[in-house]
Amino acid sequence: MPQKWIDVATIAVKIIIAFIVTKVALLILYKAIDNFFKNYKDSKFNISNRKIKTMGRLIKNISKYAVYFIFITVVLSFFNIKIESLLTVAGIGGLAIGFGAQSLVKDVITGFFILFEDQFGVGDYITIDKYSGVVEEVGLRVTKIRDFSGAVHIIPNGQITSVTNYNAGNARALVEVTVAYQQDLKKVMEVLKVVCDKVKEDMSDKIVDGPYVLGVSNLGLHGVSISVVAMTKPMKHWEVERELRLKIKDAFDKEGIEVPFNKFTPYNGDEGKG
């Protein structure tokens, strides 16, 4: 076998070995990061799980870039390419592509401020522009959120101009109940109060305040609207609203309270003809 092919095979084997070592190093590094933050979570420092998950993901991303940079440096050395000369060329080329990399720099700077200001973190339910979902990753360059359908939206940090964070504080659960005009509103209010007390007792771990019957909120075309409101822990308002509606429906059925609905009277064109 010619020496040329022997050299190529040797380099190929070295690259494969370097790649395997890189993968193993990443696995060990990820495990060490997980153990570190697990111990940090159990320590006396009062840091939320959200912040711990966010920092853990970020450090893993930075570690991945660093390890792969070392891998590339090692591979280049197999071809007798010195990293110093490569950096010199990269520095000269960097001046040429600097303007083209403005969006990348903007993404990184915005990502830094998102993390520094703790605008949102892993596990938060947020809305960015037209996308809503649970944050899966906050990186220096991109943010990943998963919506209810399971789709993951990858958003460059530089494009994030406004964020709605539903985990930043307590949430409001609001249920609008409409009853027919002929109903006794005093009785309706009493039934709703009993339902509110029951829901408050059953969901005390999710409700911060209420629920309360606010009173009549609208005199509509088809009925009288009554508002029921509660303050819940972050992201629990939908669950509380569903429970309120279920129990209100059951209570109205038992008490014979009518909810207005459209009634249709069939018309026969032959009627009235004799």
Range scoring the smallest mean pLDDT among 90-94, 226-230, 235-239: 90-94
pLDDT at 96 over 50: no
**pLDDT score for 8:** 73
Average pLDDT across the chain, whole number? 79
pLDDT digit string (tens) for 208-228? Answer: 888 999 888 888 888 899 999
User: Quick one: 232 exposed, middle or buried, by C-beta within 10 A (0-12, 13-18, 19+)?
Assistant: buried
pLDDT digit string (tens) for 125-173? Answer: 889 888 899 888 887 788 899 988 889 999 988 888 888 888 777 888 8
Could you give the dihedral angle defined by the CA atoms of residues 198, 202, 208 and 209, in that order, rounded to the nearest 10 degrees?
0
**pLDDT score for 88:** 59
pLDDT at 69 over 60: yes
Range scoring the smallest mean pLDDT among 90-94, 158-162, 193-197, 198-202: 90-94
Q: 226 and 215 in contact (C-beta within 8 Å)?
A: yes
Mean local confidence (pLDDT), 235-251: 90
% residues pLDDT > 70 (the chain): 78
Q: In terms of pLDDT, which residue wins out, 115 or 50?
A: 115
Mean local confidence (pLDDT), 22-38: 82
* The residue to which tokens 């939908």 are assigned: 238
The top-scoring range by mean pLDDT among 78-87, 216-225, 241-250 is: 241-250
Count of residues in the chain: 274
**pLDDT score for 191:** 93
* The residue to which tokens 């190093």 are assigned: 25
**pLDDT score for 249:** 92
**Structural domains of the chain ordered from first start:** 3-97 (1.10.287.1260), 110-165 (2.30.30.60), 171-255 (3.30.70.100)
What is the phi-psi region of residue 118: left when phi exceeds 0, alpha when psi lies from -120 to 50, beta otherwise? left
> What is the pTM (predicted TM-score) of this model?
0.53
Q: In terms of pLDDT, which residue wins out, 201 or 65?
A: 201
Range scoring the smallest mean pLDDT among 4-13, 92-101, 113-122, 207-216: 92-101
Q: In terms of pLDDT, which residue wins out, 175 or 115?
A: 175
Q: How far is CA 134 from CA 59, 124, 148, 200, 241, in A?
A: 20, 5, 8, 27, 20
What's the angle, vertex CA 141, arms to CA 165 and CA 72, rounded to 5? Answer: 150
